[in-house]
Structure 1
Amino acid sequence: MFTAINAASAYNAARTAVSPGQAGGAVEKLSTAAADFAQQMAQVDTVSTGAMTGQVETHRLVQTIAEAEMAMETVVAIRDKVVEAYQEILRMPV
């Protein structure tokens, strides 16, 4: 059974979860993550070019490619979660 205190607590928790201040932090973190991913892909490009010209050893190339693969899997997982959340919103009755 809901009491006034339970309802007030639930409202307070929901209000802070969707406040604009909280969303701004998430946007900044997502923006930073995208910049880090772009930097990782640029590093792979640089290292692979260096490996083709003989300036970078193969071990470093393999290590960089493995790190890029992990970064790509992370980005794909985030994208999948965003798409899933968007689809959940679309399924909500209006």
Structure 2
Amino acid sequence: MADTSALAATQAYSKAINNSLGAKPEAVSQEAVDGPSFAEMLSHAGTDAIETGVNAEQISLEAITGNTGLADIVTAVSNAEATLETVVAVRDRVIQAYQDIIKMPI
């Protein structure tokens, strides 16, 4: 019987695309198996977002005391803003996916 798991489907799709592009299918399928899981990637992204926010706060506090330059402040605030926009976009996509799943007929 054929394997119908999501991982098997993804690997088969990846093999088909890479075969048409001339890549070695063994390397691609092994990369897909050895890569981080979605939960690990999401965890790392969350940790990075928190670190970016903490860094921006620290630089803002240094700016109040006059220990940092304007360029550092602008860079930290821009990084924090971009990170926040990314987190909000991911949150919106997750909520939309949840709502789509709820609307599916059983």
TM-score strictly above 0.5: yes
Q: Higher relative contact order at CA 8 Å, sep ≥6: structure 1 or structure 2?
A: 1
Is residue 2:44 matched to residue 1:53?
no
Do structure 1's residue 69 and structure 2's residue 81 form an aligned pair?
yes
How far the C-alpha of 1:15 sits from its partner, in A, is: 3.3
**Inter-partner Cα distance in structure 2 for 1:15 and 1:85:** 17
Give unpaired runs (5+ residues) of structure 2.
11-32
| Cα offset, 1:58, TM superposition | 1.4
Measured against aligned partners, the alpha-carbon deviations of 1:67-86 in whole angstroms (never above 9, x if no partner) come to: 11001110011001100100
Q: 1:15 maps to what in 2?
A: 6
What letter corresponds to residue 34 of structure 1 in structure 2? G
Root-mean-square deviation (CA, aligned residues, Å) is 2.0
Residue 22 of structure 2 corresponds to which residue in structure 1? none
Aligned residue pairs: how many?
80
Letter in 2 for 1:52: I
Post-superposition CA distance 1:39-81 (Å, at most 9, x none): 0000011000000000011111011101110011100110011
Alpha-carbon shift at residue 28 of structure 1 (Å): 0.3
TM-score (norm 1): 0.77
How far apart are the structure 1 equivalents of 2:58 and 2:88?
A: 23
Instruction: Give the % identical residues.
Output: 35
Residue type at the aligned position of 1:38: I
Give the letter for the 1:58 counterpart: L
TM-score (normalised: structure 2): 0.68
